[in-house]
Amino acid sequence: MNEGAKKTLKRLLVAVPLMFAFGFALVPLYDVFCEVTGINGKVFQSKDVEKLVIEDGRPIGLQFISTNNENMPWVFTPSEEVMTISTGKYYTATFYVKNTTNKKMTAQAVPSVAPSNAASHLKKLECFCFEQQVLMPGEEALLPVKLLVSNELPKNIKNIILSYTIFDITEYEDDSLANNEMNHENMNNHGGQH
Amino acid sequence: MSAVIENHHEDHHHGPAKGLSRWLYTTNHKDIGTLYLWFSFAMFLIGGAMAMVIRAELFQPGMQIIEPEFYNQMITLHGLIMIFGGVMPAFVGLANWLVPMMIGAPDMALPRMNNLSFWILPFAFFILLSSLFMEGGAPNFGWTFYAPLSTTYAPPSVTFFIFSVHIMGASSIMGAINIVVTIMNMRAPGVGLMKMPLFVWSWLITAYLLIAVMPVLAGAVTMMLMDIHFGTSFFNAAGGGDPVLFQHIFWFFGHPEVYIMILPAFGIVSHIIETFSRKQLFGYASMVWAMLSIAILSFVVWAHHMFTVGLPLAAELFFMWATMLIAVPTGVKVFNWIATMFRGSITFETPMLFAIAFVVLFTMGGFSGLMLAITPADFQYHDTYFVVAHFHYVLVPGAIFSIMAAVYYWIPKWTGNMYDERLGKLHFWLSFIGVNVTFFPQHFIGLAGMPRRVPDYALQFADWNMVSSVGAFLFGLSQVFFLFIVIKTVMGGKKATDQVWEGARGLEWTVASPAPYHTFTTPPKID
């Protein structure tokens, strides 16, 4: 093989692991992209919520939806299905859960906001979705979410839907999910907000 | 390069080894090309047999022949085998046979890697097909293997599927690296980049696409493997992952992949139309630039496969316009082919018939693609038989017709024998009628709302499904006939001249027919 061919070969052999790494780099890139643009309905914790508090906000309809992922047997419903709230004010809503089984179970709720361009304006100060829920057999609980909708919410949005899907993660418990990066970050922020 | 040439000079008179070891140990580009082509033909027939099972089940509404679970395994394996086992190895085989001869090189640049990249392929497909006999059956999540169908809900055989995709990817990457190194470094003096035959150009671009996206596919299946076995949550929403992320990564690979399966076809068709129109190709430079633009655009259109996942409006608009932009370079190519034929003295030998059918039917597939690119329309068409009709129009009378055209066009050079023109034409007309009867009605049932990937359907779709199945059986049978024609040509037939076709140009037509085991051991003189 001549020199030119060796050079081409070396370059291409570098390109292959780089593109393999790029495939994995798409994972954090995707999350960063979603966080920056607020699309995908993903809700992230934000700092400096205090300065968003205003007195004369406009009214917004806030609707809660709860969904059980496939075989999740818990009872999971919002205490109130609809609230009328005012932008720039703190509100706390609760969800009722009950472990209907006879074994100890762990759950994780995953939030989503519609319309997606409202997601970045819905600020959560506390949320049960930042933590895992462990319930004993037959145990029930009221899970709180403390939130504020920024007045910068686009004017054409009159209603926001906040939906939670609850997942049974009992079998994953203690390994990967406990160390999940997103949960960690959120829990840290959560502590800082008090 | 001189060192390479002298080395080969010494063993110039060595013929191929005898027996099975010739094929196992061969580093000869022609032998490896032959292996690839036969392998892809075998896979084409296996994948085709699965298509027959699918169409037999869909012949009538209701479940009559197979179980729904097995139906899902059939559609999954049909797609995977046709793409990774049929179309891609066929193009690599053609590249192996033709690229060195077209650029006046004695062989591929990395002959041993060439051998390896072929011989791992049969193992990949052995693993994939063996999953049919495993507990829980073969992969059943469709060829796009969307998470969580392919992770949380997958049959246990998914791990074998992942391993086989890794092997296929490694094979493709090695093949692509070999082709790039060969084209960039082993052209005979005088063969400048803008003097390369278009098939060589098309493969150079395809090989770069392969090197860019096959590792991303390997990454995607690796993430699946980790989610399934090592407790990560790349695609598991309960653990903070996202199933939509899978689709983004998959289609970042998947969209360039569909151009990987069509660019070499563009190259082949350009040669054939030129030869049988007895004219120089119209717009050579614009053909090259069109292929380059298509390749670059292929990286920024992936989300048009995902319009219905809930993309923001801005993204839907961007991917819609970017997708429509691809119609421009594609249109340039189609008009160039037509301009080449315009006022040419055309004859209609079998390769030319396939090439013209390619231009017409591929363009139809392109138009249905444009319809699907319109975001609001796609909300209606998504996951219906209209999509099935679209991609089969670009892949069957597109990619596969071009491969058949290539086989008829170059087989006299490979074997030294002319194929039987009468049988070739019969094969063409059976295939042409078969393919249209199969896939054209699928546009109708798709627009009427029949979803894809269903083993049973509502009664109003019954008539066109039956027509489609009849067409599929005709098309399937005519490919067995194709196998017969190829074997007959290999066994004997009218002797081919060196130039074979009156209008043929290019270095591969200057060597003897059949092409000697070693060609261009000294570089040819180019004027």
- The pLDDT of residue B286 is above 50: yes
- Give B507-522 pLDDT, tens digit per residue: 999 999 999 999 999 9
Nearest to B373 by CA among B442, B304, B297, B316: B304
- The pLDDT of residue B254 is above 60: yes
- The pLDDT of residue B383 is above 70: yes
Reported as type and span, the H/E element at residue B288 is: helix B284-297
Q: Could you state, in order of their start, the residue ranges of all structural domains in chain A?
A: 1-37, 42-192
Nearest to B341 by CA among B285, B435, B273, B407: B273
pLDDT of residue A44: 57
CB within 8 A of A46, min separation 6: which ones?
A123
Taking residues B293-299, report their average pLDDT: 96
**Residue contact B211–A16, C-beta within 8 A:** yes
Chain B residues with beta carbon closer than 8 angstroms to that of A40: 242, 244, 310
Order of strands, edge to edge, in the sheet holding A90-98?
A: A75-78, A90-98, A140-149, A122-127
- Give B468-477 pLDDT, tens digit per residue: 999 999 999 9
Substitution target from A3, A7, A12 for chain B, most B beta carbons within 10 A:
A12
Task: Supply the mean pLDDT for chain B.
Answer: 94
Identify the residue whose tokens are 């990949």: B124
Q: Could you state, in order of their start, the residue ranges of all structural domains in chain B?
A: 2-8+30-261+393-509
List the structure tokens of B481. 């006939």
The third-level CATH classification (topology) of the domain covering A42-192 is: Ctag/Cox11 (Pfam 04442) (2.60.370)
B173, B231, B237 member nearest A176 (Cβ): B231
Chain B residues with beta carbon closer than 8 angstroms to that of A69: 237-238
Residue B366: band (very low, low, confident or very high) from pLDDT cuts 50, 70, 90? very high
A8, A21, A22 member nearest B180 (Cβ): A8
B218, B220, B312 member nearest A39 (Cβ): B312
Q: Which amino acid is at B211?
A: I
Residue B284: band (very low, low, confident or very high) from pLDDT cuts 50, 70, 90? very high
Q: Given the cut 0.95, state whether the ipTM is greater than it.
A: no
- Asked which of B8-12, B194-198, B220-224 is least confident by mean pLDDT, the reply is B8-12
Substitution target from B193, B233, B246, B299 for chain A, most A beta carbons within 10 A:
B233
Question: What does the alpha-carbon distance between residue B358 and residue B223 come to, in Å, rounded to a whole number?
Answer: 38
pLDDT of residue A176: 45
- The pLDDT of residue B411 is above 50: yes
Provide the residue-wise pLDDT of chain A in tens; the chain has 194 residues. Answer: 688 899 999 999 999 999 999 999 999 888 888 777 666 556 656 666 777 788 888 899 999 999 998 888 999 999 989 999 998 888 999 999 999 999 999 998 888 888 877 887 888 888 888 888 899 999 999 999 888 888 888 888 899 999 999 988 887 755 444 444 444 334 333 333 33
The Cα of A41 is separated from the nearest Cα of chain B by a number of Å equal to 9
pLDDT of residue A53: 82
pTM of the model: 0.88
CATH for B2-8+30-261+393-509 is 1.20.210.10
Residue by residue, DSSP assigns B320-374 as HHHHHHTHHHHHHHHHHHHHHHTT------HHHHHHHHHHHHHHHHHHHHHHHHS
Q: Sign of the CA dihedral B134, B45, B124, B263?
A: negative
- Give B320-342 pLDDT, tens digit per residue: 999 999 999 999 999 999 999 99
- The pLDDT of residue B145 is above 70: yes
The Cα of A83 is separated from the nearest Cα of chain B by a number of Å equal to 25
Contact between A58 and A39 under an 8 Å Cβ cutoff? The reply is no
Taking residues B458-465, report their average pLDDT: 96
- Asked which of A96-105, A111-120, B52-61, B398-407 is least confident by mean pLDDT, the reply is A111-120
Taking residues B9-21, report their average pLDDT: 68
**Widest CA span in chain A:** 77
pLDDT of residue A178: 43
- The pLDDT of residue B437 is above 50: yes
Residue B10: band (very low, low, confident or very high) from pLDDT cuts 50, 70, 90? very low
Question: What does the alpha-carbon distance between residue B25 and residue B115 come to, in Å, rounded to a whole number?
Answer: 7
Nearest CA in chain B to A24: B219
